[in-house]
Amino acid sequence: MPRVDALVLGVGGMDTLPSPLPTAVRELIPVLRPDPLRRRVRTAYLRAQPVLARVLPDGGPVALPPRLTVEYLERCRAAVTALRPGIPVVAMLPAVHRASVYGGVHTGRAAAERATREWAAAQGVRLLDAGTLVAAHVLGGHGNPDGMHWGWEAHRRVGETLADLLVGELRTLGDLRRGP
C-alpha cells in the first residue's frame, strides 16, 4: 500500500447480469454429488438461464442488487483511503454484452450504472464508462464468441482511456502536493 498511486475498482459488471437462480444456490452446483447429478443440474440450469432471462419481468433478479454493489465498492474505497488519504480512485461502470447464455438480456445494467454514478458523485470517485468504450466492439460481435468478453481492441481502448484518466488525476494530485 505505501507505493500504490491509485485505486481502480474494475468490479461489479457481473453483478448486473440476470440470475433467476439465487447466486448462493447457483454457486453450490459445483459441489453437488454424485457427479451425474451435478452434471444434470448444471445442464438444466444452463438451458433454463437464457429462457428465464427472456421471460421473467426485467430479466428476473440480478446477480447482486445495485445497492449491494455500491456498498462493496464503498467498503473497498474506504479501506484503501483510510490507509492512503487523497489517493485517486476510479471505478468502472458496467460494460455491455450480447451473451446468449443470458438470453441477450441486460436490463440490470441501467440501475447498476445509476447507483454507481450516485455513489461516485457522493464520494468524489472518477468513473470510467466501460459500456460506452466497448459497446460497438462487443455488440458488433468483435469480441469473444460468448458475446460478453472483450477482444484485444476493446481492452486496448479501455486501457488507454484509463491510463489517460489516471495520468490526469496523478498530475493534479502532484500539482496539489507541490503547491503554488
Confidence of residue 24 (pLDDT cuts 50, 70, 90): confident
pLDDT at 173: 77
**CB environment 141-164: b (16+ within 10 A), e (fewer):** eebeeebbebeeebeebbeeebee
Q: Checking phi first, is residue 124 left (phi over 0); if not, alpha (psi -120 to 50) or beta?
A: left
Q: CA 134, 140, 145, 147: dihedral to nearest 10 degrees?
A: 60
Q: What is the pTM of this model?
A: 0.91
**Interatomic CA distance for residues 132 and 134, integer angstroms:** 6
Domain residue spans in the chain? 7-17+66-178, 18-61
pLDDT at 72: 98
pLDDT tens track for 71-130: 999 999 999 999 999 999 999 999 999 999 999 999 999 999 999 999 999 999 999 999
Just give the CATH number of 7-17+66-178. Answer: 3.40.50.1110
Using CB atoms within 10 Å of the CB of residue 53, give its burial: 0 to 12 exposed, 13 to 18 middle, 19+ buried.
Answer: buried
**Interatomic CA distance for residues 126 and 88, integer angstroms:** 8
